[in-house]
Structures are given as structure tokens and as C-alpha cells.
């Protein structure tokens, strides 16, 4: 039986796999916002929404640290540690996504409480965050698919993994921090 690194559909068509996974991810988010499948999510109390909001912030902060560690490891050519950090980062993204969808699907919207001037600044930051998140999904998935299906030598010589990885890390950190 061939492994992903030896060949196969995923290795041969990483862009198609990325597109498919991106569509599934976007579909989950958009479907949740539109209220599709309301039976999937329990109704949440305000306390639970607040807890999820705090947990999401903690996961995002941890993810920024993990991405920084991955960058550190690859700069020192510690490929195995870099790979572990990036897979951990992706797992944290999935944890974030589950909590976020649970929060939104369970009715956990929060209204902005504060001065009007701050509200408009908040909306501008939110718009940037949303755009970066939308862009980050396929870029992160593409870097991950390449990283999991190619050898380190192939990644360096035959793929845009290094360039895409830089964009993925930057856009993920910016989306997670809102900056």
C-alpha cells in the first residue's frame, strides 16, 4: 500500500484537495450563520457563551505561540519539530472552529457595548479579521496538504510550501489576533 508521501491523489492534486476542504469549511461556517441545521447545536446560556468566548481567545493565543515555535524550529532546520508544531497549530484551528460554530449555532451572538466611535473602529477591525480569515483557510490548508504529502526535500525543491507557509502563518496570526 502506498503512503501519501509515495504518491497518490492527494499528493498529485493538492490544490483540488485544498479547494474541497475549503468549500467544506466555508459551508460549515456559512451554514451555521444562516441557521442551517439548527438541531446540530444546543441553545447556550449567556454563561456558556462567555466561557466559549474566553476559551476561543485562549486557543487563539496558544495558536500564535505554536506558530511562533514552528517558525523558530524551521529557522533552525528542525523539520520534525516544525511539522509537529504546524500539525498542532492546525489541530488548534479545528478546536477553535468547533467552539466558534457551537457558540454561533447555539445562539451566542454578543452585542457591542461601548461608545459609538469605538463601535466603528470595532467594525473595521472585524471586517479585516473576517477577510483575513477567509483568505487564510485555503492558504493554510494548501501548506498543510503539501507538508503532509511531501518529503522535506520535495518541499524545498518542488513545491511552493515555503512561500505559502509564510503567507499561511502570517494570515493565521493576523486573523487570530485581529491585527
56-81 tens-digit pLDDT = 999 999 999 999 999 999 999 999 99
Number of structural domains the chain divides into: 2
- In this prediction, residue 1 carries a pLDDT of 41
State how far the Cα of 179 lies from the Cα of 175, in Å rounded to an integer.
7
- In this prediction, residue 2 carries a pLDDT of 46
Global pTM? 0.82
Select from 66, 91, 110 the last residue of a domain.
110
Does 177 map to a domain? yes
9-26 tens-digit pLDDT = 899 999 999 999 999 999
pLDDT exceeds cutoff 80 at 98: yes
Residue 33 sits in the same domain as residue 106: yes
Residue 129 sits in the same domain as residue 92: no
State how far the Cα of 5 lies from the Cα of 151, in Å rounded to an integer.
7
Residue 90 sits in the same domain as residue 143: no
Domain span holding position 50: 25-110
Select from 110, 128, 152 the last residue of a domain.
110
State how far the Cα of 1 lies from the Cα of 84, in Å rounded to an integer.
24
Amino acid at each position: 500500500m502506498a503512503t501519501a508521501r509515495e504518491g497518490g491523489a492527494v499528493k498529485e492534486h493538492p490544490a483540488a484537495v485544498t479547494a474541497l476542504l475549503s468549500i467544506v469549511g466555508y459551508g460549515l461556517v456559512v451554514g451555521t450563520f444562516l441557521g442551517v441545521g439548527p438541531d446540530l447545536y444546543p441553545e447556550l446560556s449567556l454563561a456558556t457563551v462567555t466561557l466559549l468566548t474566553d476559551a476561543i481567545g485562549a486557543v487563539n493565543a496558544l495558536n500564535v505561540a505554536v506558530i511562533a515555535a514552528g517558525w523558530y524550529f524551521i529557522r533552525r532546520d528542525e523539520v520534525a519539530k516544525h511539522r509537529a508544531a504546524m500539525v498542532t497549530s492546525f489541530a488548534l484551528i479545528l478546536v477553535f472552529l468547533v467552539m466558534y460554530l457551537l457558540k454561533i449555532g447555539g445562539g451566542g451572538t454578543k452585542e457591542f457595548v461601548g461608545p459609538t466611535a469605538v463601535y466603528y473602529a470595532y467594525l473595521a477591525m472585524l471586517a479585516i479579521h473576517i477577510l483575513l480569515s477567509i483568505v487564510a483557510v485555503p492558504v493554510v490548508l494548501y501548506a498543510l496538504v503539501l507538508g503532509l504529502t511531501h518529503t522535506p526535500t520535495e518541499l524545498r525543491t518542488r513545491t511552493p510550501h515555503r512561500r505559502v507557509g509564510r503567507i499561511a502563518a502570517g494570515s493565521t496570526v493576523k486573523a487570530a489576533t485581529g491585527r
